[in-house]
Structure 1
Amino acid sequence: MEKVRLGVIGLGNMGSSHCHHIHVEKRVPGLELGAVCDVSEARREWAQQHLPGVAVYENVTDMYQSGLIDAVLIAGLHYDHPAQAIEAFEHGLHVLVEKPAGVYTRQVLEMNEAAARSGKVFGIMYNQRTNPVFQKVRDLVQSGELGAMKRVVWIVTDWYRPQAYHDSGSWRSTWKGEGGGTLINQNPHNLDLLQWMLGMPSRIRSFCSFGKYYNIEVEDDVTAYLEYDSGATGVYITSTGEAPGTNRLEISGDMGKIVVEKNQITFQRNRISEREHNRVNTELFKKPESWTCHIPVSSDGGEQHIGIMKNFTRAVLHGEKLLAPGEEGIHGLLISNAIHYSTWVDGWADLKDFDHDHFYELLQERIANSKVNKQVTQRVADVAGTH
């Protein structure tokens, strides 16, 4: 195989952008746009006008059976991701899925099992893993440079979205349409990075507010307390209702503190471990000697979506290791589900023994009462995939 023929499902903002990068700008060597699929007639007409030579389908199965594609990029509605991926694997196709992997862990576990049976390449569009800043933080943590982690605090409140955004589609900001609010829509990248850099917490106690700032039924303000098996703790705060908002990540360890803000890394590095200092020091108020180090790293954000597609293509053609394996989509989603679950049951959520079935039942109750008939100004497919 000299090239990968890709089919794209969902021609909303993200799907159409991917198509443009692949077919018009030719930014992904070895990747060719073979077909696209969307249930909307308007979006199919758009594809016929702007993607010459590309087959256009209304039905996913028809595209899978066309023989025109080797792989599929799934960029439609959240709830559809796992089912469409499973069917793609059954048709012998490689799969790249947009975030989130799904809405609830039970369906994503089924998708992962199907991927394992298929033997096909399975990736997820966690494009923030291409960011050199987060790659460096991961390296500082996992190499032991920071020492044993003590605490992480991530405040991500720069996801401001006005009421007009929430009203832009009948599916948006509803349990039935999206399966959640800021956790499932804006925060999947952050939650993935959190576990990618630091590992998974063992349990979570959270406090979510639903419709605190907007006329919506899902969460728009979240504070979660995390505990790790190592004894480290964390706080994760996010909201779509603050302006101008903050994006600040602080990780404390035995060897100092890392702060990430405005795409820059500062490492306040202890000369010796705090634990060693505590053992040998005899002065009442003496702190370990600490140096403020500005970590040199590119702040350009990396190749983002293009980088993930390049990596996926090379994985299919040459067996290159995936930066964002699709199976890892379960981790960030588990944190998201656990935050919801903890609030719903008003107690702790155990991530190592998570009750996937009970979460699903509680989600179904909210879906049954979901307000999906809001007056909207824009069709679902026009905004599908917008973060």
Structure 2
Amino acid sequence: MEKVRYGIIGIGNMGVSHAHNLCGEIRGAELTAVCDTNPERLEWAKQHLPESVQLFDEPEAFWASKAMDAVLIAVPHYDHPGMAVKAFENGYHVLVEKPAGVYTKAVREMNEAAAKSGKQFGIMYNQRTNPLYIKLRDLIQSGELGEVRRTNWIITNWYRSQSYYDSGGWRATWAGEGGGVLLNQDPHQLDLWQWTTGMMPKRVRAFCHFGKYRNIEVEDDVTAYVEYENGATGVFVTTVGESPGTNRFEITGDNGKIVIENDKLTFWRLRVPEPQFNREYKGGFGQPECWVCDIPVAGGGGPQHKGILQNFTNALLHGEKLLAPGEEGILGLTISNAMHLSAWTDDWVDLPLDEDLFYEKLQEKIAHSTFRKDPAAAAVLDVKGTH
């Protein structure tokens, strides 16, 4: 294979962005096909993409065409796993947009199909290319911070007005989107939370407010508390209803604390680890000497979507290791599913997640969803919305 031929299914906002990147921005890649059931989107593709790109108005013809080597899936959330399974069954490599899906039961089936296919499988976790989080992961995984004790992420700079939600009948509905701020805006943070620390919670207690700030049926304000196997704890706070918002990720360990905020990484580094200081210090009041270190991080925000596309292409052409293996998409989704389930049951949720119970509760929400009662809204379901 000299070049990777890509086909995109779902040519809405994210699909358009990926299409532009694949038309000359990614070394060793070319866009050869797109598929969308919305005639307006295909007309856009006809007008703006090279004539060599084949256009398909229904998935079965797209799968049967063999016009591509890899499929990039940019359809609505619920369809991610099913489309990926179809792509694997037809012999394609798969790169799926985030989130991996709406519920882990379907994502687990997707992961099993990927393993059975032997094909490459990636997910568009473009924030894994951000040098800030790469450096944070390195500082934690190398032991520089010591054992993690506490994680806190306040991510409230997701402001969305009512007009944003009114722009599509599927938005912010259980049947159309499958969730609110946790599933639409926060998948990257929920992924980075466990990816940088290398830790998944063992149990979750979450308080989700549904339609608190906006006239929507899904969650728009969340505060969650988690516990880890090593005794560490964590808090995750998010909303779409505050302005100005905050994006501050703080991780405390035996050797100090690290904070990412305002595109800076700061390490409050103890000269003596706290457990050692506590054992040895006999002076009553006192604390370890601490140095405030601004950690240099080069590269701005990183290559983002282009970085994931280039890495996936390199994996196919040269065997490069994937930055964001698709199988890992289930991890962040497990956390958001657990938060929803905790709020729905008003109780703790232990991990591994009870996937059948979550699915049952989700179906109850879907049965009463406003989108379900508005068939006309289905016309926009084939367009992947902006986050």
Same fold flag (TM > 0.5): yes
Which amino acid in the other structure matches residue 287 of structure 2? K
How far off its partner does 1:381 sit? 5.5
Q: State the one-letter code of the partner of 2:114.
A: A
Matches within 5 A, 1:44-59: 44-52=42-50, 53-59=52-58
1:78-89 alignment runs, 5 A limit: 78-89=77-88
State the match for 1:294 in structure 2: 294
CA distance in 2, matches of 1:258, 1:376: 49
Alignment partner of 1:11 is 2:11: yes
Instruction: Give SS of 1:332's match.
Output: helix
Distance in 2 between residues matched to 1:204 and 1:4, nearest whole Å: 41
Q: Which moved more, 1:290-299 or 1:126-135?
A: 290-299
Matches within 5 A, 1:223-372: 223-298=223-298, 300-352=300-352, 354-372=353-371
Query: Runs of at least 4 residues of structure 1 off by over 3 A?
Result: 373-379
Rounded to whole Å, the distance in 1 between the matches of 2:160 and 2:242 is 9
State the number of aligned residues.
384
Match of 1:207 in 2: 207
Q: Deviations over 1:134-175 (max 9, x none)?
A: 000001111110011111110000000000011111110000
1:263 to partner: Cα distance: 1.1
Cα distance, 1:385 vs. partner? 3.4
SS class of match (2:335): helix
The residue that corresponds to 1:34 in the other structure is 32
| Aligned position for 2:183 | 184
Shift in alpha-carbon separation, 1:205–1:32, aligned structure 2, 3 A: same
5+ long unaligned stretches in structure 1 = none
1:185-223 deviation per Cα after TM superposition (whole angstroms, max 9, x unaligned): 000000000010112111100000000001000000000
The one-letter code sitting in structure 2 at the alignment partner of 1:137 is L
SS in structure 1 of the partner of residue 183 of structure 2: coil
1:183 is paired with a residue whose SS is helix
Could you say if the C-alpha distance between residues 362 and 213 of structure 1 is closer, same or farther in structure 2, counting changes exceeding 3 Å? same
1:78 Cα deviation after fit? 0.5
2:171 is aligned to 172
Identify the residue that residue 112 of structure 1 maps to in structure 2. 111
Q: Distance in 1 between matches of 2:71 and 2:150?
A: 39
Which runs of no fewer than 5 residues in structure 2 stay unpaired?
none
Does residue 221 in structure 1 map to residue 221 in structure 2?
yes
- 2:39 & 2:333 partners in 1: Cα distance? 32
Question: What amino acid is aligned across from residue 148 of structure 2 in structure 1?
Answer: M
The alpha-carbon distance between structure 1 residues 271 and 255, as it changes in their structure 2 partners (threshold 3 A), is same
Per-residue CA deviation, residues 224-266 of structure 1 (Å, 9 max, x unaligned), is 0010000000000000000011000111111001011011011
Cα displacement (A) at 1:125: 0.1
Identity %: 62
Shift of 1:377: 10
Matches of residues 133-144 of structure 1 in structure 2 within 5 Å? 133-144=132-143
Point out the more displaced range, 53-62 or 203-212: 53-62
Shift of 1:351: 1.5
Asked whether the equivalents of residues 169 and 383 of structure 1 are also in contact (C-alpha less than 8 Å), the reply is no
SS at match of 2:149: strand
Contact 2:153 2:249 in 1 (8 A): yes
1:280-335 per-position Cα deviation (integer Å, ceiling 9, x unaligned): 00011110000000000026100000000000001111111100000000000000
Aligned AA for 2:385?
G
Indicate the SS of the match to 1:65.
helix
Distance 1:247 1:375 in 2: 37
Which amino acid in 1 is paired with 2:344? W
Match for 2:261: what amino acid? Answer: E
Identify the residue that residue 156 of structure 2 maps to in structure 1: 157
Q: Could you say if the C-alpha distance between residues 382 and 79 of structure 1 is closer, same or farther in structure 2, counting changes exceeding 3 Å? A: closer
Secondary structure of the residue aligned to 2:178 is coil
CA distance in 2, matches of 1:212, 1:326: 33
What does residue range 61-76 of structure 1 map to in structure 2 within 5 Å?
Answer: 61-76=60-75
Q: TM (normalized to structure 2)?
A: 0.97
TM-score, normalised on structure 1? 0.97
SS in 2 for 1:73: strand
Q: CA deviation at 1:374?
A: 6.5
CA distance in 2, matches of 1:194, 1:374: 36
Give distance in 1, aligned partners of 2:369 and 2:381: 19
Amino acid at match of 1:161: R
Q: SS at the partner of 1:96?
A: strand
Q: Which amino acid aligns with 1:69?
A: M
Structure 1 residue 382: Cα displacement: 8.3
Q: Which amino acid aligns with 2:145?
A: L
**Separation of aligned partners in 2, 1:246 and 1:176:** 30
* Paired letter, 2:275: R
CA distance, structure 1, for counterparts of residue 383 and residue 189 of structure 2: 21
- 1:157 and 1:270 mapped to 2: Cα distance? 30
